[in-house]
Amino acid sequence: LAHLLSEPNLSFQEFERQIEEMSLKDDRVVLAQSVQCDLMSRSPVLVWRNSTRIRLIQAFRNAYEAPDDRLLSGEPLICDGIELPMKHRKKRIDLEARGLIKGAQCVYLGDGRKPGFSRLHVIGAEDPQVSAASIIKIEAPDQEEPFIPFAAHMGAAFVHGSACTIHKAQGSQWKNVQVFAPDLFVAAKMGREEAGIQLWKRLAYVAITRAIDKLFWVKAYKLARPTTPLHTDDLRSQISNELTLEPIE
């Protein structure tokens, strides 16, 4: 599929037809009619527009009946960087050594022992469980300021991980990837180009190559209800000794 995108005369409609044909003979490619909530809890839906990302995050939280004023255990997060001054370089190194680098995929496990702290599972880290001072931002449609359930003065910053822009997804990969095709269709209709390449093709190439095992090409703006509650049972067996990063004075 990625190779097809190098064809200069390939249209979005033809590419989608090729995906449909591929899905009939290769179970690694799925032509989906809706976004799957169950998959969003462990890997984000990839979108082009930030407004789409925010709406999907809100839809995900509504589907799991997440309250407006707190996170549920099992909600996905993406590390958005470390907000520390240079004088706290050692604290930054501690966080990064535990896998909390920009773009890291995490799962929220619950409140930390101290105000502003949260317990996290860092996916792919050697020692995945960490309790750290957190700045977590949950954006919502039609709201200028995000909801911040954890607002430590300094520490690791996070955004919700159920949806992510394709631009932010560069450099990351997941076993299962859902690509939100309606956004790419909009990009195709706009006819924009970047460096002589149609924008929708650049977006599609980055998005589909994020998938390790299975690609879900989502055709419609629909969200399938979750089949199970949010959980962390699949993570607990991976937990080793917990490291608590003390508050920064």
Residue 180 contacts residue 97 (beta carbons within 8 Å): no
What is the per-residue pLDDT for 104?
93
The count of domains in the chain is: 2
Say whether both 94 and 154 belong to one domain.
Answer: yes
Bridge pairing between strands 117-122 and 76-83? unpaired
List the domain range (segments joined by +) for residue 201.
3-58+164-224
Residue 218: inside a domain: yes
pTM, rounded to two decimals:
0.90
For 205, what's the count of Cα atoms within 13 Å in the CB-facing half-sphere?
12
Per-residue tens of pLDDT for the chain, all 249 residues: 999 999 999 999 999 999 999 999 999 999 999 999 999 999 999 999 999 999 999 999 999 999 988 899 999 999 998 887 777 788 788 888 888 999 999 999 999 888 888 999 999 888 899 988 899 999 988 888 888 877 777 788 999 999 999 999 998 999 999 999 999 999 999 999 888 899 999 999 999 999 999 999 999 999 999 999 999 988 865 444 444 444 433
156 closest CA partner among 220, 213, 78: 78
Residue 85: inside a domain: yes
